[in-house]
Amino acid sequence: MAAVIAGSGAAVAKLLQRPAQGLARCSRQQYLRLRAQHIQPAAARSFTAGRRGPEKKYTEDHEWIDISSPDSASIGISTYAAKALGDVVYVELPVVDTEVKKGDAIGAVESVKSASDIMTPVGGTILEVNSVLEDKPGTINKSPEGDGWLAKIKVSDAAELEGLMDAEAYRAFTEEVDTK
């Protein structure tokens, strides 16, 4: 919005009289300036509001897959799993272009002297692996559902995504597992 980019005090004051959603769409520069003046934007919306956010689904083996783009879906292990594993000291990643079936072991992590298989939630082709984990395996613990993604997969059968749990169902599932 042109008025927002102006950056003068008057423009900002005028902006403040508009409904909150205006501020949510302002540029980062504008936001920082406003924040410096202790003016909080009323609606704390992501700056990527225009793009579709990640949509995670989960398996009973505690893996997640971001189904927002099945042509290149990120997969990883859940926060619950990362906590259970302990400090990850090494990650074995799959080889790019490998064809996998749902449930195949696509890699392994080592933590607390344990080599743990990581299974893929869906079948498909491995497109990319997260090489950050080769040097910084602890990223899985710091951000298991973000920067600690393991690989990107081209989903071969979208129907396999149907059977997975959404975040709510997965949360309930882990609570049930804990009380067993």
Partner 1 sequence: MITLNRACTRARAHRQVTTRRWLSQSRLDRLAEPVQFYISTSRDPYLNLSIEHYLLQNSAPESTILFLYVNRPSIIIGRNQNPWLEVNLALLNPVSNDTPETEPPGPGIVDLVRRRSGGGTVFHDEGNVNWTVICPPKEFTRDKHAEMVVRALRSCGIERSRVNERHDIVLDQGTRGADTELEDTHVTPYTRQAAGVRPLKVSGSAYKLTRQRALHHGTCLLASPNLHIIPDYLHSPAKPYITARGVESVSSPVGNIMLANERYIDAIRVKFAEMYPATNPIEHVEVGEDWLDLDPVRQGYEELKSRDWTFVQTPQFTISTKAEPSINLDMELTVRNGALSGGTLCRRNGEKILDLSEQLQGQRVQDVDSWSVTVSNMFEGIATAEARTLAAWLDTMLPVYGRHNSK
Q: Given the rule CB under 8 A, which residues bind partner 1?
A: 61, 89-90, 92, 103, 105, 108, 110-117, 119, 134-135, 180
CA-closest candidate to residue 171, choices 86, 84, 80 = 80
CA-closest candidate to residue 124, choices 95, 153, 162 = 153
Using the minimum distance from each CB to partner 1, give the nearer residue, 168 or 176: 176
Query: Which amino acid, 145?
Result: E
Using the minimum distance from each CB to partner 1, give the nearer residue, 47 or 90: 90
| Residues 20, 18: Cα–Cα separation, whole Å | 6
Other C-beta atoms closer than 10 Å to the C-beta of 174 total: 18
Q: Tokens 């009380």 map to which residue?
A: 179
Q: What is the CA radius of gyration of the chain?
A: 21
